[in-house]
Amino acid sequence: MPGFQGRPMRSALGGPRVLLRRLREVMAEPVSAQDRLDKIVVLIAANMVAEVCSVYVLRVDGTLELYATEGLNRSAVHLTVMRIDEGLVGTVAREAEPISLSNAQAHPAFSYRPETGEEIYHSFLGVPILRAGNTLGVLVVQNRAHRSYTEEEIEALQTTAMVLAEIIASGELTALALPGAEPAARRPLHLTGSALSEGIGLGHVVLHEPRIEVTKVIADDVPAELDRVDHAVQTLRASIDIMLEDEGVARVGEHREILEAYRMFAHDRGWINRMREAVMTGLTAEGAVERVQSDTRARMLRMTDPYLRERMHDLDDLANRLLRQLTGRAGGPEKMALPDNAIIVARNMSPAALLDYDRTRIRGLVLEEGAATSHLTIVARALNIAAVGHIENIVGLVDAGDPIIVDGVSGEVHVRPPTDVEGVYVEKVRFRAKRLEQYAALRDVPTVTKDGVAIDLHLNAGLLVDLPHIDETGASGIGLFRTELQFMIASAFPRTNEQLKLYRAVLDAADGRPVVFRTLDIGGDKVLPYMRAIEEENPALGWRAIRLGLDRPGLLRSQVRALLRAANGRELRLIFPMVAAVEEFDKARHIVERELTHLRRHGHGLPERVLVGVMLEVPSLLFQLDALFERIDFASVGSNDLVQFLFAADRGNPRVADRFDPLSPPALNALKTIADAAERHGKQVTLCGELASRPLEALALAAIGYRKLSLSPASYGPVKAMFLDLDLGAVSALVKPLLNGEAYIPSLRPHLKAFAETTGLPL
Ligand code: PEP
Ligand code: MG
């Protein structure tokens, strides 16, 4: 290989492997951080046959500081500071890509710093110091001669940068920094996403999928490490093939698509060659996987195409599988004991996975994905866990054990918070605890507005963990029991007996208060892990809920039977989800009647009475309300779906979910039409979507005629406190002309907010 001025680099100076071994020795020496860096730059310069080697560290203020140099003026160390948009070093940091130039001064980005004395050096090779795709600094070598650095040299310098990344990430350089100019690697981060579940959690990061810690990155025996890479890749390919052949994997659908993508990547020569090349520079197989993945992440994090960004997650998964293979932990991430005050950080997770953790130790949840009405969110709320979603790349930005604060009220997350921020949050937690005590004190106060209107507040529930909330809040009952949650967290279809046990427990806990059970609402975003997924163009509009129930009546029948038996001697209230036409209700009711007859014939105990209703959540029902109310015993409005369908805006898609305001006249008029029809027919109607759980929205619902709301347990106190202070007559008078008005108004929200402010309503 032609090296500097024709000398073969590797044979002359031992090449990158010898360098890595020497670096390992320096890493183990008991010297100061500065001495260690100084020794490292000397070693690198000698090994690369370069006159200059410098380390620049990215600081919390976003600038790059020269931390060590061999070859430039030593007096410039800790004095030379450049902006990230400045010079070649800044470009390397920003782009997270190497830059190699034989005539650096001719490059438009070149910026001359007289204090360094670098004007005599012509060639420049800079590589980013990366960790999990994030830039921590820049490593540079320079030569006087117009030298073209070879691919191997660039590769070797990148590998060396990995060792520096470990030093920077360890925090040992912080002692060398001035206050406010510490290395950015461990800097506090203030991130904003969307609030998913109310509450504030202070604690320490637990990665839901822990990174495999690579402890040995420097190879002792390179050919053996190459064999290990090849072997691990072979095993990975075989395991993907087995997964694809697995009968349990749907033939179509997302799961299969992901596996197909994995197979494609696992056979990608480029990916495998990059790992082999990294091993050739002296890394272990694990070190090589980590380095290649860090480079890939760095590139992909800078892409804006959401499809390509998604592929980054596939490659992360694949790299993790390889690492597990190499470290002998192929069985998947093992479960570890949670520390106290755990904040779980994940890209996303299933509701079942959240329930698997020791609830008493979890203080919060932070997700890269997540949606306000997703089932994971619903479970987090049921468990009273503060949760924030849409925090981009959070998994790559934190380390296990980092201090972290989750603010599920504002949607903010503070990683490694400074002490003053932590102090503010400790105070907030104290304040919230006091407020919760105040809400608890309202437990036995009837929910009646200041002008004497009674509002009936119920709870939304779906799991056993929800049940204690009935007594804690003093709610009137359960306004919506989402039976599918039990199915979603199970690993196989719950047997009729298991269903029976749960429904009985719910009725026992309600202790005579009404409970509205909704039959299985699966399909759409509600996926059962053990049920074959059907590929549909628009799953939310597809074969789901009652549609599936009527086409596969076996499932619905067995559930209805479990419900009827559980209610033996008590009242049973049942609703069907996603009814879009009156005859669907007729058919579903017929199934209930057949099951009643069946149980009677076989001498089973029967409910004292059975009331049957529908979820009003498909807009078509708005135009069949009279026919519908003539048939049903009661109705429940599912505003989450109704609003999604009304505005054609996917409730699970953060780009559009909050685009249209449910307090706008079209939404409120739709909801009012339903409340009016219920009143005309003398039938009860409850609103059980998330709208009822927000005080301002609950205020609007009462103003248009709703007297029964069903909400999440955490919202019970705030919504009740609002009603106790409300003059309902006054707000109804305000709302009426705004809804009927001639003048166009986009939303009633500002009007209602102003009303709340002037009347001192607690929101
Ligand atoms: C709704 O759609 O408003 C509702 C309450 O049901 P889910 O959120 O379970 O779809
Ligand atoms: Mg719904």
Which residues are registered as beta bridge partners of 364? 343, 386
Give the pLDDT band of residue 255 (cuts 50, 70, 90).
Answer: low
pLDDT at 334: 52
**Chain centroid offset of residue 576 CA:** 30
Mutate to test the pocket of ligand 1, among 373, 647, 712 (most ligand atoms within 8 A of CB): 373
259-to-41, 266, 470, 759 alpha-carbon distances in Å: 44, 10, 43, 57
**For 425-435, what is each residue's pLDDT tens digit?**
999 999 999 99
Name the residue with the closest Cα to ligand 1, atom 8. Answer: 640
**CA 589 to ligand 1 center in whole angstroms:** 21
Closest approach atom of ligand 1 to CA 639: 3
What does the mean pLDDT of the chain come to? Answer: 90
> Looking at ligand 1, which residue's alpha carbon is closest to its atom 3?
638
The rounded percent of the chain whose pLDDT value lies above 90 is 67
Pocket of ligand 1 (CB under 6 A): 373, 480, 482, 521, 617, 638-641, 688-689
Judged by its nearest atom, the ligand closest to the C-alpha of residue 526 is 1
For residue 689, the ligand closest to its alpha carbon is 1
CA of 107 to the centre of ligand 1 (A): 59
751 is an active site residue? no
Ligand 2 centre distance from Cα of residue 381 (Å): 17
Task: Please tell me the least confidently modeled range out of 210-224, 406-420, 744-758.
Answer: 210-224
For the segment 142-154, the average pLDDT, to the nearest whole number, is 93
**pLDDT, tens digit (0-9, with 9 covering 90-100), for 164-194:** 998 998 888 988 998 889 999 888 899 999 9
Please check whether residue 647 is in contact with residue 490, taking contact to mean a CB–CB distance below 8 angstroms: no
Name the residue at shortest CA distance from atom 1 of ligand 1.
638
pLDDT digits (tens, 9 = 90+) for 284-309: 999 999 999 988 888 888 877 777 77
Q: Looking at ligand 1, which atom is closest to the CA of residue 691?
A: 3
Q: Which of 49-53, 120-124, 499-503, 649-653 has the lowest mean pLDDT?
A: 649-653
Residue 113 CB-half CA count within 13 A: 20
The answer to whether the CB of 142 falls within 8 A of the CB of 69 is no
Q: 53, 414, 458, 688: which is the annotated catalytic residue?
A: 688
Token readout for 739 is 């809804």
* Choice from 482, 578, 579, 697 to test ligand 1 binding pocket (greatest atom count within 8 A of CB): 482
Q: What is the mean pLDDT of residues 581-588?
A: 98
At what angle are helices 222-245 and 269-280 packed, to 10 degrees?
Answer: 160
DSSP assignments along 46-72, one per residue? HHTT-SEEEEEEEBTTSEEEEEEEESS
Cβ-count burial of 418 within 10 angstroms (0-12 exposed, 13-18 middle, 19+ buried)? Answer: exposed
Say how many Å lie between the CA of residue 230 and the centre of ligand 1: 49
Rounded Cα distance between 373 and 643, Å, is 12
Number of neighbouring beta carbons within 10 Å of residue 696? 18
Ligand 2 centre from 200 Cα, in Å?
28
- Residue 12 pLDDT grade (very low, low, confident, very high; cuts 50, 70, 90): very low
Q: What is the pLDDT of residue 10?
A: 40
| Nearest atom of ligand 1 to the alpha carbon of 373 | 8
What pLDDT score does 376 carry?
Answer: 83
Nearest protein CA to atom 9 of ligand 1, as residue: 482
Predicted confidence at residue 682, as pLDDT, reads: 98
pLDDT in tens, 665-713: 999 999 999 999 999 999 999 999 999 999 999 999 999 999 999 998 8
What is the reported pLDDT for 523? 80
In the reported structure, the alpha carbon of residue 554 is separated from the centroid of ligand 1 by a whole-number distance in angstroms of 24
Q: Is 448 exposed, middle or buried (0-12, 13-18, 19+ CB in 10 A)?
A: middle
Whether the Cβ atoms of residue 368 and residue 344 lie closer than 8 Å to each other: no
- Ligand 1 pocket test: which of 522, 688, 711 has the largest number of ligand atoms within 8 Å of its C-beta? 688
Tokens at 163, concatenated: 């060792």
pLDDT tens readout for residues 312-348: 778 888 898 899 889 887 654 455 678 999 999 999 8
| Catalytic residue status for 375 | yes
User: What type of residue sits at position 325?
Assistant: Q
